[in-house]
Structure 1
Amino acid sequence: HMGYPLSEGSVRDGVLICHWHHWEFDLKTGGCFLTNGDDVASFPVEVRDDVLFVGIPKGAREAARQRLVDRGMRTLEQGLKDRSTFLIAKAVTALRESGATPQEIVQHGLFYGAHKTNEGWSSGVAILTLCANLWDDIDAADHNLFLVHGLTQIANRTSGSSRRQRFPFPRSNEDPDLVTLKRWFRRYIDLRDRGAAERILLTLHDRGEPVETLADFVFTTATDFYFTGDGHALDFANKMFEGLDYVEWRGAHEILRPIVVDLVSRTRHEETSRWQDAVPVLDPVLARVDEIWAANQTADEKTLDVSAFAQVLLGDDFEPIVPQVEEELRAGVSPLAICRAMTYAGAVRTVRFHLKNEGDWHDVANIYSYAHGLYRAFQLAPSAELLRGLFHGAVFCTYLRWLNMPSARVPREGQRLPGEETFDSTEQMLTRLQEFADFQKVAEAEILVNQYLEEDHDITPLRHALAHIMLREDAELHMFQVLEAAFRHYDLSDDAEEKRIHMLAATRYITAQKVMKNILWSTENAERLQRGELLSDRDDDD
């Protein structure tokens, strides 16, 4: 039990006692008497001529595997309810060992997280979706740890009680048309009427409307207000639709409902004092987005210099920037290109973020992840209303200029570590990177990554290393968001400097965070137990 040999325990009145934690088990069934304790396996035994035989029934391999999967799912459910990282880690390692697919585990976590929360599309289910998105970017040795991160975040953000059930509108001979439903949906979101808005969204799904229609409803209301929830409403909406793909739209009503909470309850920045100067500049532009969209769709496509326009977005004053965004759209520049420029601007804000401003890290992460989320939204459901998100992001990017004062030094071309430290292999470089991260030596980590990129080493091991650095900590939402934005826009770019800045942004953000390592330790212990190792043994030979 937990690596302690139960053969070293004692038996009293048919009860087996583990001497490590003094948990008690039914000797015959393996059932644990401790509330929320984990049961142990039991097997039939016989004594024949003073020889003890342990029975394993014939043909039981597949049945045993399925029992292990079922038991793993029960353990996972219990771990989520108890908010126990160790139980979750044990469940994940057992499930993976017994043949359960990562998608099955993700599906279980998403349904649990969506069903057991009243707080919207929380960072827990968002992180689990991010884990699924980044699966191929992570070293296989870290896959279990990846899942445990997402599931633990879900456990920490759920109440254990189910939400009130809601249903779509009844079917009739004259169902409301989409124009009417969209008008109603926007009205009830504006009034912060969660229940009414949920019913409309469920009705769309019940009627079999395509994903593009649902996305249009959600993205429109996410941008009806200025930078809703620091951009999280739009970003979480993207994660919701990505999550629906992972569950293959089965039980979609459960996954759809929480986003309404984000749309009705998050901050609308036109109501805040910080954004009051932007209102008279933005309102006239936003009033003519239909006209801007029509011009954009009919104009010949114009290529945008992403790096150059990112410098425009990094300006100090939003008043001249907002008309420039409009001008590029009217000239035929794709909204996707402007999203890429905005994401790159977010990466630059991140690499120039000085550690003296450490209390404001989330702001630079928000523009970085928001711009990437806007890019994904335009891929799924482009519209005139969604253009408003470009103008919101352009204004917010200028508000972050103070977080680059003073501006952190970005590694120079050819810059090397103090003492001209040399490495015989990329493995040595990445081991050193881990050491820098462990001690939050942010500048040294950036210089080393800069050298790695200049020497044109394989990018895959570096991705694995950065992800592992993040997973060694009890990472929070923004770390996952930054990693996804950096990796995806590194792949989208053909410009070496853009690629460099994206990877440096991920390095700087992840290595600078001060967090604990509880999830790492729980997962490592669970994996040792699954391999049959004893936690009571020393790791060294002394």
Structure 2
Amino acid sequence: MANWVSAGSVKSLQEEKAKVIKGGIGVFYHEGDFYAVDNRCPHMGFPLHTGSLCDGILTCHWHHARFDVCSGGTLDPWADDVPVYETKEENGELWVNQAITVSDKKEKYKQRLMKGLEQNLGLVIAKSVVGLINADVPAQEIIKIGIQFGTTHRNHGWGPGLTILTAMSNSLPKLDTQGRIQALYQGLRRVAGDCAGQPPKHLTGPLSGFSGNADRLKTWYRNCTEVRDSQGAERIVLTAVESGMPDEEISSMMMTAATDHFYMDAGHLLDFHNKAFEAAELADTGLKKSIFASLTPLFSNAVRSEELHSWQAPVNLVTPLKAAFQEIDRLPFPEDPVPFDEKELLEVILSDQPITMIHALTETFKNGASPVKVAQIVSLAAAERIVRFHIQNDFNDWITVLHTFTHAHAVHESLRRTNEPALIRAVYHAAVSVYLDRFLNIPSTKRPVGQKEDEPLIADDFLKILDIQQQVNEAGQWAANYLHQSKDTDALFNTLGHALLREDADFHSYQMYEAASREFDLWSGEGEAEGNTLAEYAQETMIIAAARYLAAHAPTAREIPRVGKIAWRLHYGEKLFEENES
């Protein structure tokens, strides 16, 4: 009887109909029987004993969630089942067994997460993430569930939701516990939103009996993507995986096709490819087919920038680019890269002389420079455009400079993953896009210079700035001042992450935070920032760019992160319904 607790006399309970006893258990007398359930509504914690019980259905009076009082099962998918307790009568007294059957919490939360994804239920997703994290389930396992769902439940293929989820998974080391939960929840919620109302993705399958080599598959794949044949391309990708082609070769095949045309879909196509390959590194081998196959539909309607007027007039950029590609065609990656003047190349990329810039890139590559390092300089130039973005520009132009930066970052990361020579073309694409964005720096905002403050700056103070609209320059100046006073960039990136995750952020804001933080880290690698003025300048650029971009898109209604906070508070038993409006 150790776990049994008295609920009172049977007679008094029959008269009261509903009562709360020790342990927060609601006891009900209904249709001649006694029932005991957890008195906290599993939806948002409202006391169930204040609800109504009719025909065996217990209804919560806050959001009208309905439960079978006998089994605890819910009729509403957005509410969890309520735990039930065993009861017995002895000598006119009712006893309730406080011990409930212990189920596998980890498996339960995983199942609930899948239901939340299938039904696109934000609170269910959030509560599942909180439960899984507190059950010590590794974040990678949670991410895999989202990747598997997103690549198999969206016929249109890889989308913004999976990109956000992968970006947030990359950002987890930058965040504290609350930030990590918000990052996972928001990434998974975006995946669910992308898949809502979409037909599932059914793989076509590999070519049966294929006995050719990798080069043949690569040729076929490029031919299919050239004519926008996504189904043919999918079968070739699946054949490549089935035949055991190494991931690096598959990446080479797909990235070559992704750069056969210029800056496709404003850089999104290559950016999505990069994120998909990052996701493949996180996921199981069994998910690679669905991940890689999710990329082939992107070619169907992708815009090819060489067909756009802006790439052909008033300056014809297409012809000199094609000539440059012929010069560097199949140029091997240098085994021992030759250093080059990085500052000089940065200035050329940011100039208004595109033909000179194209020639400079070509000579730099021909002289044996590292394509990875050149791509890093282009990414820095793209971030500089955001730092110098004038707030008198049209608001939507923020997305233009963002596209260039995230594309340049994707090129940089992709070149670090594979040494496919054809991918060097994407460095040119990104550099030309930096040139085309020059008008967004006319007039140019003055780059903020760090100044000494009377009081020490605390990273969390940045959030107060973003409580007011259009504090773009103020946010950039604050970031510069902070870097002037403090070296605690870990705290700063955690705060920038919270600045992102406390808003109803759009797709591009997630991209901005992840790309800036990653580029910051890459400038820190191998002791590069130690005594290197360009590296220090680059790191400052990434932080100021992120601060300005996030400030431009804040504040919002903040409804999405509020759901994540509710899930956290419910998990720890807080009574949301008792709050008073201030």
State the match for 1:192 in structure 2: 228
Contact 2:78 2:123 in 1 (8 A): no
Stretch moving more, 75-84 or 248-257: 75-84
Are residues 1:167 and 2:205 paired?
yes
> In the alignment, residue 279 of structure 1 is paired with which amino acid?
V
- Secondary structure of the corresponding residue to residue 406 of structure 1: coil
Give the helix-richer structure, 1 or 2: 1
For 1:477 and 1:83, the matched residues in 2 are separated by 17
State the match for 1:437 in structure 2: 466
State the match for 1:472 in structure 2: 502
Please point out which of 278, 300, 309 is paired with 2:317.
278
- Secondary structure of the corresponding residue to residue 134 of structure 1: helix
Shift of 1:194: 0.6
What TM-score comes out, normalization by structure 2 length? 0.86
Q: How does 1:409-488 map to 2 (within 5 A)?
A: 409-414=446-451, 422-424=454-456, 426=457, 429-440=458-469, 441-488=471-518
For 1:347 and 1:356, the matched residues in 2 are separated by 18
Please point out which of 502, 514, 520 is paired with 1:490.
520
For 2:198 and 2:301, the matched residues in 1 are separated by 21
State the match for 2:438 in structure 1: 401
Please point out which of 114, 119, 136 is paired with 2:173.
136
> In the alignment, residue 33 of structure 1 is paired with which amino acid?
L
Q: How does 1:6-405 map to 2 (within 5 A)?
A: 6-34=48-76, 36-48=78-90, 50=93, 52-56=95-99, 61=102, 64=103, 66=104, 68-158=105-195, 159-171=197-209, 175-276=211-312, 277-290=316-329, 293-294=331-332, 297=334, 301-357=337-393, 358-405=395-442
For 2:116 and 2:77, the matched residues in 1 are separated by 12
Shift of 1:22: 2.4
Query: Where do 4+ consecutive residues of structure 1 move more than 6 Å?
Result: none
For 1:33 and 1:195, the matched residues in 2 are separated by 40
- Secondary structure of the corresponding residue to residue 169 of structure 1: coil
For 2:323 and 2:580, the matched residues in 1 are separated by 67
For 1:491 and 1:382, the matched residues in 2 are separated by 21
For 2:473 and 2:309, the matched residues in 1 are separated by 35
Give the strand-richer structure, 1 or 2: 2
Shift of 1:308: 3.2
Number of equivalenced pairs = 522
Shift of 1:327: 0.5
What TM-score comes out, normalization by structure 1 length? 0.92
Contact 2:146 2:188 in 1 (8 A): yes
> In the alignment, residue 435 of structure 1 is paired with which amino acid?
K
Shift of 1:35: 5.6
> In the alignment, residue 508 of structure 1 is paired with which amino acid?
R
Judged with a 3 Å threshold, the aligned counterparts in structure 2 of structure 1 residues 304 and 44 are, in CA distance, closer, same or farther, namely farther
Shift of 1:160: 4.7
- Secondary structure of the corresponding residue to residue 438 of structure 1: coil
Contact 2:214 2:245 in 1 (8 A): no
Contact 1:229 1:268 in 2 (8 A): yes
- Secondary structure of the corresponding residue to residue 58 of structure 2: strand
Compare relative contact order (CA 8 Å, sep 6+) and give the higher one, 1 or 2.
1
For 2:515 and 2:198, the matched residues in 1 are separated by 32
Contact 2:155 2:202 in 1 (8 A): no
Shift of 1:384: 2.0
- Secondary structure of the corresponding residue to residue 477 of structure 2: helix
Contact 2:348 2:356 in 1 (8 A): no
State the match for 1:509 in structure 2: 549
Stretch moving more, 402-411 or 160-169: 160-169
> In the alignment, residue 324 of structure 2 is paired with which amino acid?
V
Shift of 1:481: 1.9
Judged with a 3 Å threshold, the aligned counterparts in structure 2 of structure 1 residues 257 and 213 are, in CA distance, closer, same or farther, namely same
Contact 1:149 1:474 in 2 (8 A): no
Judged with a 3 Å threshold, the aligned counterparts in structure 2 of structure 1 residues 235 and 324 are, in CA distance, closer, same or farther, namely same
Shift of 1:511: 1.3
Stretch moving more, 345-354 or 1-10: 1-10
Shift of 1:51: 5.1
Q: Deviations over 1:391-434 (max 9, x none)?
A: 111211100001111212221242x6xxx6x435x5xx323210
Q: Deviations over 1:14-63 (max 9, x none)?
A: 22121212222110111122365432222323344525322426xx65xx
For 1:89 and 1:269, the matched residues in 2 are separated by 39
> In the alignment, residue 342 of structure 2 is paired with which amino acid?
V
Q: Deviations over 1:155-180 (max 9, x none)?
A: 111135312331001125xx122221
For 2:567 and 2:286, the matched residues in 1 are separated by 31
Please point out which of 539, 560, 564 is paired with 1:523.
564
For 2:340 and 2:169, the matched residues in 1 are separated by 31
> In the alignment, residue 193 of structure 1 is paired with which amino acid?
D
Judged with a 3 Å threshold, the aligned counterparts in structure 2 of structure 1 residues 315 and 171 are, in CA distance, closer, same or farther, namely same
Stretch moving more, 336-345 or 276-285: 276-285
Contact 2:334 2:369 in 1 (8 A): no
- Secondary structure of the corresponding residue to residue 216 of structure 2: helix
For 1:255 and 1:539, the matched residues in 2 are separated by 47
For 1:254 and 1:430, the matched residues in 2 are separated by 41
Shift of 1:10: 3.0
For 1:525 and 1:146, the matched residues in 2 are separated by 15
For 2:337 and 2:113, the matched residues in 1 are separated by 51
Judged with a 3 Å threshold, the aligned counterparts in structure 2 of structure 1 residues 217 and 264 are, in CA distance, closer, same or farther, namely farther
For 1:141 and 1:230, the matched residues in 2 are separated by 34
Q: Which has the larger radius of gyration?
A: 2
Identity level (%)? 30
Give the alignment's Cα RMSD to 1 decimal.
2.0
For 2:446 and 2:251, the matched residues in 1 are separated by 40
For 1:23 and 1:97, the matched residues in 2 are separated by 25
